[in-house]
Structure 1
Amino acid sequence: MQIIVVGCGKVGSRFAQMMSEEGHDIVVVDNNNENFKLLDQNFRGLKVLGVPIDEDVLKQAGIESADGLAALTPDDNINMMACQIAKEIFKVPRIFARIQDPIREQVFYQFGVHTVCPTNMAVQEFRALMMGECSTTACYIDNNIIDFEYQRVRESDIGKKLSDLSVPKDSMILGLIKDGELHFNQPSLKLGIDDEIVIVNKL
């Protein structure tokens, strides 16, 4: 894939490096030449110095033939504008943005821009740690962040059926792990000692 990465900070540089190592054609755009130093010396992609919401700069980065654009600057406004330009003017097929402010997530959604909000993800992880739960890395489906959470069966629930358990509104029980094997949710599935319940949460 030909991918443009807007922003070469800590997140942008690591994402660009990873995608480049996987064999994709990467172009990184940033208005600060110093930020390019965050890329490894073996980075095989291209670097374009300039304002990432300038159409001429984006053309120089190859946006007219790009398969995707990731707006990863620490500025939500810059990310929004870069995504709008990519989507509405250059018709880039895959676009997503990093956002800092969870309140703005709906605004991005209205423009059809996929988002990843580190704030929301961190809050969910902190909650899991505080409650003694183990949560995996979240994944991204359409415009939703989905988190898979594991909960060890409580002693008071042993012998109950999965259908007897309740979960919050934006969650559902995916299944049960017994002896290291995942069993998808069935009404008759009973909870045993050392079993783990797999819960899917929409963040």
Structure 2
Amino acid sequence: MHYVIMGCGRVGASLATDLSERGHSVAIIDQDPAAFMRLPDSFEGQQVTGVGFDREALEQAGITEAAGFAAVSSGDNSNIIAARVVRETFGVSNVVARIYDPQRAAIYERFGVPTVPTVSWTTDQVLRRLIPLPAKVELRHSTADLCVYHVQVGVPWLGRSVRELESYLPLRVAFLVRGGEGVLPRDSTVLQRGDEVRIIASPKDLSLIEAVLAEGPQEETE
């Protein structure tokens, strides 16, 4: 798949390299040609000099064929403008924007653009917004057969409640991160796009859990 990255700073270069090494096609945009020096010599992706929310630069980067877009420049306004242009003008729904001010993140989420505040920033978090990744172990008990996992919830589960998820799979939802803030879910809490979900489950059930989280519940047929 093809992905477009805006901003070739430390995070943008790392993200572009990681996606490329995973076999994806990548184009990275930056106003400063010298910024591309952060990319390794082995990087095979496209380097586009220009403004990340400029139509010409985006089209040169192949945005019309993109499966996802990440705006990770050093400016909040540039990132959110670029993310909205890509989403609203080019119809790319899979976008994420880096935000330095976590208090503004919730406002931007209302525009339908998932954000990642810098205070909790890692390349892994952006990758999890763009492409499917395996569950990540965040806590493992030394004796109990249980772990806390950071998992991705597929589109079929969006709009469904935590109660539905827990009744369908052998897990408990420990907490969510939504708009940069932690949420202790109730049974009635509805899963939303951009939620970072942590679950408690047994390692022996993980393969089943990951498959069903990605594909959604199987509808009963008569």
Map of 1:116 onto structure 2: 116
| Partner AA of 2:54 in structure 1 | D
The 1-side partners of 2:52 and 2:61 are apart by 10
Structure 1: which amino acid aligns with 2:51?
V
Please name the residue that 1:172 is paired with.
Answer: none
What is aligned with 1:21? 21
Is the CA contact 1:8–1:30 (under 8 Å) kept in the aligned structure 2?
Answer: yes
User: In the alignment, what sits opposite 2:54?
Assistant: 54
Which position in structure 2 is the counterpart of 1:12? Answer: 12
Q: How far did residue 56 of structure 1 move?
A: 0.9
CA deviations over 1:63-105 (Å, ceiling 9, x no partner): 1111100000010000001001000000013100111101110
Partner secondary structure for residue 181 of structure 1: coil
1:181 deviates by: 1.5
What is the DSSP-based 3-state SS (H/G/I as helix, E as strand, rest coil) of the residue aligned with 1:56? helix
Structure 2 letter corresponding to 1:182? L
Aligned to 1:71: 71
1:163 corresponds to: none
Cα distance between partner residues in 2 of 1:3 and 1:85: 15
2:36 alignment counterpart: 36
Q: Which has the higher strand share?
A: 1
Amino acid at match of 1:95: V
Aligned amino acid, residue 108 of structure 2: F
1:182 and 2:146 equivalent? yes
What TM-score comes out, normalization by structure 1 length? 0.64
Alpha-carbon contact 2:8-2:36 (below 8 Å) kept: yes
- Whole-Å Cα distance in 2 between the matches of residues 106 and 148 of structure 1? 27
How far apart in 2 are the matches of 1:138 and 1:149?
Answer: 13
Which 5+ residue runs of structure 1 have no aligned equivalent? 123-136, 142-146, 151-175, 185-197
| Alpha-carbon distance, 1:177 to partner | 3.5
Structural RMSD (CA): 2.8
Unaligned segments of structure 2, at least 5 residues: 130-135, 149-172, 183-222
Contact preservation (8 Å) 2:138, 2:147:
no
Equivalent positions of 1:102-181 (< 5 A) are 102-119=102-119, 121=120, 150=139, 177=141, 179-181=143-145
Aligned counterpart, 1:83: 83
What are the superposed Cα offsets for residues 45-69 of structure 1, whole Å, 9 maximum, x if unpaired? Answer: 0000011111111111111111100
Structure 1 stretches of 4+ with a deviation exceeding 4 A read 137-141, 147-150
Name the TM-score, length of structure 2 as normaliser.
0.59
User: Structure 1 residues 138, 58: closer, same or farther in 2, change over 3 A?
Assistant: closer
CA distances 1:167-189 after superposition (whole Å, capped 9, x unpaired): xxxxxxxxx946152189xxxxx
Identity among equivalent pairs (%): 34
Question: Which structure is larger by alpha-carbon Rg, 1 or 2?
Answer: 1
Quickly say closer, same or farther: Cα 1:183–1:98, change in 2 above 3 A.
Answer: closer
**Kindly tell me: are residues 14 and 178 of structure 1, through their superposed partners in 2, closer, same or farther at Cα, counting changes over 3 Å?**
closer
Return closer, same or farther for 1:17/1:79 CA change in 2, 3 Å cut-off. same
